[in-house]
Amino acid sequence: MAVYGIDLGTTYSCVARIDDVGRPTVLRNLEGADTTPSVVYFESPDSVVVGQSAKDATVLDPEHVVQLIKRDMGETVPREFHGRAYTPEEISARILRKLVDDAKAADGDEARDVVISVPAYFGLAERDATRKAGEIAGLRVLDVVAEPIAAALDYGALEGDEKRGDRAVLVYDLGGGTFDTTVLTLSGRELTVLCTDGAKELGGSDFDDRVVVHLVERFRERFPDVDDPLSDPQSETQLRKDAEEAKKALSFRERYTVRVMHRGRVEAVELTRGLVEELTGDLIERTVDITRRTVELAAERGVSSFDDVLLVGGATKMPAVAAALRTQFGFEPRLHNPDLAVARGAALYALDRAAYIVSSGELPAGQAPDVPETGLAHRPYEISTVASRGYGIQVTDVDTGHEYVTHLVHANDTLPASVTDDFYTIRDGQRRVRIRVMEQAGAVESEELEHNTEVAHGTLKIPPGKPARWPFECVFTLDTSGLLTVVATERETSEQIEISLQIGGLSQEAVDEARVAMSRQRIG
């Protein structure tokens, strides 16, 4: 058994492992491709198809196909197929299963220990959901790793010449469905994430949408008497495929013609690179805007220039991306394995985590992961990262009764972070304090309840007969893996209560149940 790194992408996923000489290697799927479409086709109650075949099935049976499930991770939005509801974690689990099954077919090893990449700005719920998806797939998730960190690792940031000195790297990751941008500093084997930002619903598929809408408009101009192609799921799916093809082609060509077919009518629509850039200009502009925010924050933290600007994610192959960065910031960005870098970096990180687990004795020997024998002495990475969101707890102003969120850890605070603060009861004789752990929901921290999401909750017992404003202490800890613990201490008895946090929508039981259910399905 080996350790694997998995890039669980919004539109494409990829798996890699460390080969015998210590280099990350991407494992091809059964269709012979490096990447597998993150598309799941529930063909029947006991048969699920993942990958290109599922994507092809969208044209014929779009009602039973799921795409872009990564955008729903951390949300409670089940989908129902053949009489059974599937959570996003379960659906992602089927993608993971397909990846590791194909990996086994490729190199013969059973995959068990994996590291799954997540976008840098993913919050606790999303990370937890990803982790649980791995568990549902029957994998042991050693860790989740932020995609920019993985990309930087693949770039070899921490390999080779240690005398290169300190370097600053900006990773611009525009994937199929998400976008994030991260500033890292590298010093020897030490990787520090300075700040990160991103958007959940901004990726290559949004670019495809624009092209689809354009194609539909041209078609409707030509055939005004024919109904909207988007009213027909099959036509829409076909258009999406065509639009994606066109977008990819126009990264290399100047013109591309799409034949829009609907209700027996055909309209050949010519697309040019300039036109597509015009249609998607505002999306690029949004990425630039987020990048600018990140760059400004990095400058505040002492990094005002970048030695490397890495473009990661399939959508960065569009020439407009590099051009916009060049124009807006004067960067000279470089494409670095845009489709594969994250999986490869995740594999490197998995190796590092496995080596750490083995060396630290964290797990019993029988359960310890296999560390590949590369013949090289492994030197562990020292990775410090930042919080992707702000975290706090809900409090009540006793004077006004106004409920709000007080943040203890803020976005881009260096991890691990541990914050201690005193809180008080609000009523005489109060016996219980319900603690709600809130996560910043938007890009900017806000104390308003509606701008935060509850990610965990717990209850603290208070001794009887205590007056109002009775103090208790809360210690709020977030480690580098994003593991959150909250310990509350009642002052009088010094009773410590570690609040068991229920993160996300799935309990462990539900995870186990889902794993069992999945094992009954054939996944191809």
Partner 1 sequence: MAFDEARYRREVLDAGLPVTEDLRTRYQLPQRLDKNAVAEAVAAVRACWRRSRSRLKYRAVIEQLEAGYLIHRPLLDAAAAGEPQGLRAALEAHGRRAETDRARLRAALDEAAGGLGMLAESTVAELAAAHRVHEDRVRDLLPALGLRAAEPDPLPRSVPHPAYARCAGHLEVLGLRHLGDFLATGTPGGRAGRPVRVFGAFPAGPPAVEAAARRWGRLPHGAAHTAAQAVIAAVRGVLADQGPAGLARILLHELAVPLRTLHAARATPATLLAHAVEELSVDGDDAPRLVFAVLHEAAGDPVAQRLRRLAADGRLTEAAAVAERLPPGSLAEDARALAEHVRGKLAEARGLVDRARRLPPAEADRAWDLLDQAEAAARDLPGTDTVRRGLAVRPVSGLTATADGAGITVRWRHSPSTRGEPEYVLLRTEQRPPRDAADGTVLPPASPRATSYRDGSPPVCVPLYYAVAVRRTAEPGSAASPLAVGGPVVHWPEITGARLSPEDRRITARWTCHDRARRVEVVRTAPDGEQVPVAARRDGFTDDGLVNGTTYRYHVRVGYLTDDGRSVRTEGLRLTATPLAPPDPVTGLDIRRTDDHLVAHLDPPPGAEVRLYGFGAAPPWPAGTRLSTAELPARPIPAQPAPEGLRFAPPGRPTVVLAVTVAGERAVVGAHAVAAARTLGALSLTRHGGTGVTVVFDWPPDSGEEVEVTWRTPGEAGEQRRTVGRAAYRHEGGVRLPAADGAGVEVEVRPVALLGGLTSHGPPNTAVLPPRAEAGYRLERHGLPGRRTVTAVFTARSPVRAERLLLVRSRGPLWPLEPADGDVLAEAADVTLGPDRDVKLSARLVRGPGGRLRCFAVGEGLVLRDPPQHTLKVT
Token readout for 146 is: 């932020």
Using CA atoms in the order 157, 161, 163, 167, what is the torsion angle rounded to 10 degrees? Answer: -20
Cβ nearer to partner 1, comparing 168 with 438: 438
Distance, in Å, from the CA atom of 500 to the CA atom of 476, rounded to the nearest integer, reads 13
288 touching partner 1, by CB under 8 A: yes
Rg (CA), the chain: 24
User: Using the rule CB under 8 A, which residue among 209, 232, 445, 495 binds partner 1?
Assistant: 445
User: Using the rule CB under 8 A, which residue among 20, 190, 201, 370 binds partner 1?
Assistant: 201
Surface-to-core class of residue 193, CB atoms within 10 Å of its CB (0-12 exposed, 13-18 middle, 19+ buried):
buried
286 touching partner 1, by CB under 8 A: yes
Cβ nearer to partner 1, comparing 12 with 121: 121
Query: What minimum distance in Å lies between the beta carbon of 441 and partner 1?
Result: 3
Report the largest interatomic distance among the alpha carbons of the chain, rounded to a whole angstrom: 80
Q: Which residues contact 475 (CB under 8 A, 6 or more apart)?
A: 418, 419, 420, 486, 487, 488, 489
Considering only residues 347 through 406, tell me which ones interact with partner 1, judged by CB under 8 A.
none
Distance, in Å, from the CA atom of 42 to the CA atom of 49, rounded to the nearest integer, reads 6
Query: What minimum distance in Å lies between the beta carbon of 357 and partner 1?
Result: 33
251 touching partner 1, by CB under 8 A: no
Q: Which residues contact 156 (CB under 8 A, 6 or more apart)?
A: none
Strands 391-396 and 432-440 turn out to be antiparallel
Distance, in Å, from the CA atom of 120 to the CA atom of 16, rounded to the nearest integer, reads 20
Stretch that binds partner 1, among 20-28, 108-116, 279-287, 380-388 (CB under 8 A): 279-287
Strands 84-86 and 79-81 turn out to be antiparallel
453 touching partner 1, by CB under 8 A: yes
Q: Which residues contact 39 (CB under 8 A, 6 or more apart)?
A: 50, 51, 54, 55, 58, 65, 66, 67
User: Using the rule CB under 8 A, which residue among 63, 161, 399, 450 binds partner 1?
Assistant: 450
Measure Cα distances from 25 to 154, 310, 312 in Å.
Answer: 11, 20, 17
Site string for partner 1, 64-93 (x = CB under 8 A): ------------------------------
Query: What minimum distance in Å lies between the beta carbon of 502 and partner 1?
Result: 19
Cβ nearer to partner 1, comparing 16 with 73: 73
Distance, in Å, from the CA atom of 229 to the CA atom of 219, rounded to the nearest integer, reads 8
User: Using the rule CB under 8 A, which residue among 217, 227, 282, 512 binds partner 1?
Assistant: 282
Stretch that binds partner 1, among 88-96, 281-289, 344-352, 481-489 (CB under 8 A): 281-289
Helix/strand/coil for 270: strand
Query: What minimum distance in Å lies between the beta carbon of 444 and partner 1?
Result: 3
Query: What minimum distance in Å lies between the beta carbon of 219 and partner 1?
Result: 20
281 touching partner 1, by CB under 8 A: yes
Q: Quick one: CA dihedral 106, 110, 114, 117, positive or negative? A: positive
448 touching partner 1, by CB under 8 A: yes
Cβ nearer to partner 1, comparing 9 with 198: 198
User: Using the rule CB under 8 A, which residue among 46, 221, 270, 285 binds partner 1?
Assistant: 285
Cβ nearer to partner 1, comparing 179 with 256: 179
User: Using the rule CB under 8 A, which residue among 6, 124, 168, 202 binds partner 1?
Assistant: 202
Stretch that binds partner 1, among 251-259, 349-357, 449-457, 492-500 (CB under 8 A): 449-457
Query: What minimum distance in Å lies between the beta carbon of 87 and partner 1?
Result: 18
Cβ nearer to partner 1, comparing 196 with 452: 452
446 touching partner 1, by CB under 8 A: yes
DSSP calls for 246-260: HHHHHTT-SEEEEEE
Question: Do 16 and 343 contact (CB within 8 A), yes or no?
Answer: yes
Stretch that binds partner 1, among 14-22, 32-40, 436-444, 487-495 (CB under 8 A): 436-444
Measure Cα distances from 84 to 53, 74, 130 in Å.
Answer: 22, 20, 21
Query: What minimum distance in Å lies between the beta carbon of 409 and partner 1?
Result: 17
Cβ nearer to partner 1, comparing 201 with 397: 201
User: Using the rule CB under 8 A, which residue among 312, 347, 441, 511 binds partner 1?
Assistant: 441
| DSSP assignment letter at 70 | G
Distance, in Å, from the CA atom of 149 to the CA atom of 152, rounded to the nearest integer, reads 5
Cβ nearer to partner 1, comparing 185 with 291: 291
User: Using the rule CB under 8 A, which residue among 443, 475, 487, 510 binds partner 1?
Assistant: 443
Query: What minimum distance in Å lies between the beta carbon of 430 and partner 1?
Result: 30
Query: What minimum distance in Å lies between the beta carbon of 289 and partner 1?
Result: 4
Using CA atoms in the order 117, 376, 384, 335, what is the torsion angle rounded to 10 degrees? Answer: -50
# chain residues binding partner 1, by CB under 8 A: 25
Token readout for 143 is: 């860790």
Q: Helices (DSSP H) in 142-191: which residue ranges?
A: 147-154
User: Using the rule CB under 8 A, which residue among 1, 77, 105, 444 binds partner 1?
Assistant: 444
Query: What minimum distance in Å lies between the beta carbon of 288 and partner 1?
Result: 7
Surface-to-core class of residue 89, CB atoms within 10 Å of its CB (0-12 exposed, 13-18 middle, 19+ buried):
buried
Q: Helices (DSSP H) in 17-87: which residue ranges?
A: 52-60
Query: What minimum distance in Å lies between the beta carbon of 274 and partner 1?
Result: 12
Q: Quick one: CA dihedral 198, 201, 203, 206, positive or negative? A: negative
Q: What residues line the site for partner 1 (CB under 8 A)?
A: 199-202, 278, 281-282, 285-286, 288-290, 292, 440-446, 448, 450-453
